[in-house]
């Protein structure tokens, strides 16, 4: 089991990063968070600058994260 993290939506603790909805505990929590972004309840307070990313420069590329999930059901929406 990986390091426990708290779900950003419901605050339950678990190994959510290992699941397909990580860092959220479930698809429901993931969608609730997305809804808050769409309703402007969440906002980025200032534009990101290059120095914000300096501490992440040594991380691997993560190209695999840009590939779509194959088990995603989109109910006919594109």
Q: Is 6 within 8 Å of 12 (Cβ atoms)? A: yes
**Domain architecture of the chain: domains with CATH:** 1-43 (3.30.50.10)
The pLDDT confidence band at residue 1, using thresholds 50, 70 and 90, is low
* pLDDT at 17 (0 to 100): 86
* Assigned token pair, 44: 């980025």
The alpha carbon of 60 is separated from its chain's Cα centroid by a whole number of angstroms, namely 17
* pLDDT at 62 (0 to 100): 73
Q: Is 76 within 8 Å of 27 (Cβ atoms)? A: no
Task: Convert the pLDDT of each residue in 33-50 to its tens digit.
Answer: 999 999 989 888 888 888
Q: Which whole-number Å values give the CA distances from 52 to 46, 47, 49, in the listed order?
A: 11, 10, 6
* pLDDT at 6 (0 to 100): 93
């Amino acid at each position: 089991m990986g390091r426990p993290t708290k779900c950003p939506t419901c605050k339950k603790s678990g190994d959510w990063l290992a699941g397909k909805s990580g860092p959220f505990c479930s698809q429901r929590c993931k969608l609730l968070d997305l809804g808050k972004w769409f309703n402007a309840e969440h906002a980025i307070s200032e534009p990101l600058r290059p120095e914000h990313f300096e501490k992440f420069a040594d991380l691997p590329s993560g190209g695999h994260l840009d590939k779509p999930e194959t088990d995603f059901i989109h109910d006919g929406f594109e």
